[in-house]
Amino acid sequence: MWLLSTDRAELQFFPSVQAAQIARFAILSHVWDATEQSFQETRALCAQCALAGSNPRDLSSTKVRESCKIAEMHGYKWIWNDACCIDKTSSSELSEAINSMFALYSHADVCYAFLKDVSLDCELNGEDAEFRTSDFCNSSWFQRGWTLQELLAPDCVIFLSSAWTMLGTKASLAQLVSEITLIPWSVLLLEEGLWDMSVARRMSWAAGRQTTRPEDEAYCLLGIFDIHMPPLYGEGRKAFQRLQEEIMKKSIDSSLFAWTESRTATRQRNSARKLPASTVRPMQRTRRHPDLQLRFHVSPSVRPSMR
């Protein structure tokens, strides 16, 4: 895997996720813009700056530059960014990245969730009506398919505003994030494990989320169900049927038949279990993700609406 050095935004290869974990790295979660700095552009920029004797970080995109700066400020020498740390011209590297994405976010020391549409002065503690209309509640980051696993996998998530300033953490904002995503705050606080949640419950969290390509409706959920399968862009929504078939091989959990629980009912249940103020704190313990031993049966026609 490739990581960016935070002081110069130069690419460095690490032989495995475990090797990168030993070096300690941060990771960026973001909604892609129309144009993102690619792997090839990053390498070309580094070569150009090597000849000129300049720092490539200074000439990198704003997103690359600012994410490197904040990670460096927090003491990290390395950061991973899916836009420029994957050589997408290599089908094997892209396949490996998609299948190891959950592990990447899980092994990172910290995940910076950049909310480009949320200002620093966004209301996070107002009345319920204010919150539901706030930029934070309606951020596109909470509406994308890929960011679901990027919220669940890391132990520590720091939410950043459009100005790259800290809004809060997954732990400190657990009640609000639970209200938005319908993920129980106990899961966000690591008091309940992801694998303790039924297949249906995990699948329901993806409902309403969007992906640019139809195949990604399935690929973005691989890690959440501990599934490994090769991506085949061009297969369309057959990818989701393949995902179902893979889950059927591993799971005896038939709960997927009931995964369409209404968001209103789930909110009412979550509201009845308000997060105690004393538990809103960063969690220190490290979580590990054992192999899933779940099996279930599902009709090929059943899939979450992510468009």
**End-to-end alpha carbon distance in the chain:** 30
Per the domain annotation, does 53 fall within a domain?
Answer: yes
Does 119 share its domain with 252? no
Return the pLDDT at 131: 56
State whether residue 161 is helix, strand or coil. coil
Does 107 share its domain with 17? yes
Return the pLDDT at 120: 83
Does 238 share its domain with 118? no
State whether residue 87 is helix, strand or coil. coil
Return the pLDDT at 282: 34
User: Model's pTM, two decimal places?
Assistant: 0.82
Please give the tally of structural domains in the chain.
2
280's tokens: 């809103």
Does 154 share its domain with 217? no
Does 183 share its domain with 205? no
Does 132 share its domain with 201? no
Q: Which residue in 301, 201, 176, 295 sits closest to 241, CA to CA?
A: 301
Per the domain annotation, does 274 fall within a domain?
Answer: no
Per the domain annotation, does 136 fall within a domain?
Answer: yes
Residue 215, domain extent: 193-257
The DSSP symbol for 144 reads B
State whether residue 289 is helix, strand or coil. coil
Does 186 share its domain with 216? no
Per the domain annotation, does 285 fall within a domain?
Answer: no
Does 135 share its domain with 203? no
From the first residue on, what is the mean pLDDT of each consecutive set of 10 residues in the chain (307 residues)?
Answer: 98 94 96 96 97 97 98 98 96 95 97 95 63 82 98 98 96 95 96 93 94 96 96 95 91 59 47 39 35 30 36
Does 39 share its domain with 174? yes
CA distance linking residue 233 with residue 216, whole number of Å: 9
Does 147 share its domain with 227? no
CA distance linking residue 180 with residue 131, whole number of Å: 10
Does 19 share its domain with 48? yes
Per the domain annotation, does 159 fall within a domain?
Answer: yes
Contact indicator for 57, 65 with CB cutoff of 8 Å: yes
Per the domain annotation, does 293 fall within a domain?
Answer: no
